[in-house]
Each structure stands twice: as C-alpha cells, then as structure tokens.
Amino acid sequence: MPVVSQPLGRRERNKQQKLDRITAAASELFAEYGVEDVTTQQIADKADIGTGTLFLYAKTKGELLLLVQNAHYAEALERGRADAETIQDALGAVMAVVRPIVECNRTQIDNGRFYLREMVFGDPTEPQHSAALSIVGQTEEAIAAILDREKLAGADDAATAARIVSAIMFVSMAASVNAGLETEALVQDIRTQISLLISR
C-alpha cells in the first residue's frame, strides 16, 4: 500500500514560508549589492521578519549565503549530471558536470568566492555548511561515476580522481589570480588541468 504524505501543519508551513522569504530576500540583496555590503538587518527587513527570527534560520551572513548558494549549486549539479549522461568522452562528460557549477559560482564573482571560503572554513556544525559539503560529495560521486563508467579507474581510484577534480575546480574558482578571468577562460583552464588527470 503506498505511503501518503500528510500535508504540513500550520506551524511547519509558517516556518517554510519564513525560510522562503529569507532565502528570496538574501538572494536578491546579495545579487544586487554583494554579500560584503549587505547587513543581516537589511535581509530581515526585506523578508519582513525580526533579526531574532532570522538568526533562528541562519546565525551568520555566511550561513545565509550558503543557504542561497546551496540551492543554486544543487540545480547546477543536476543540469551537469543530465548533460554528462549524453556524452561518451570522459573528459567531455566530466566537464559537463563542472561547467554549470563554475557558471553558477561566477554569477557574482565575489559572492562565489565568499561561498567557497564559507564552505571550506565555516562552522561544520551549521546545517547550511553541512548541506554545502553534501553537495560537494554528490559532485564528486557524479564525477567518479563517469570515470568508473569509462573504465578509467577502479572504484577507489575513481573516487580519489574525483576528489582531485573537485579540488582543481574549487581552487581555480577561489584563486585571487582568477577573479578577473572571464567564465569561459576559467572553464578552459580547469579543463586543461583536468585533462592531465583524465586520459581521453
């Protein structure tokens, strides 16, 4: 017998509506002004909630950025996975996963770099930080599956190679020297680095 999910109660709906308002407000303000120039008070005001309520959902501005960016990152990963399924060449398939993530991260370069710093150095006990690391793990799993599918490595080696690809991608996106690069140039630089790891 199929399990029928119960509708959310009023309290859960209210919590979800507040979270949606916070996410929308933070997303809009960060996109317009950059994370460094936005205050938590501005986000609370735009979401029409008190700052105390805001801090129940995210304790820091970094957590708010993770909240916003995690959703975009997850969508980019899903697009990349779908594209990779249609590409036979291993390097092309890996880059199909990588490209939308790089494009997502570079939508607002300073915010993207801030997001990466938060992901690496943020408080791992915070729920949004944990969610960000989970998405990184899913990215590595998608890359490892491509390498394993193409018989470029055994399962353990594919997982290790996927972590290296992930490191190349994240360091390239975070590096100060790359901040002024056009997105396509950055994607091509990442491709060149990954091509040394993955035989065609």
Q: What percent of the chain has pLDDT over 90?
A: 63
Residue type, 78: E
> Which residues, 6+ apart, have CB-to-CB distance to 119 below 8 Å?
66, 129, 132, 133, 136
- Mean pLDDT for the chain? 89
**pTM given for the model:** 0.83
The DSSP symbol for 106 reads T
pLDDT, tens digit, 9 for 90 and up, residues 9-26: 888 888 888 989 999 999
Alpha-carbon dihedral 102, 104, 107, 108, rounded to 10 degrees = -90
154 pLDDT above the threshold of 70: no
pLDDT, tens digit, 9 for 90 and up, residues 92-118: 999 999 999 999 999 889 899 999 998
Distance between CA atoms of residues 16 and 158, nearest Å: 38
Please, are residues 143 and 162 in contact by the beta-carbon 8 Å criterion?
yes
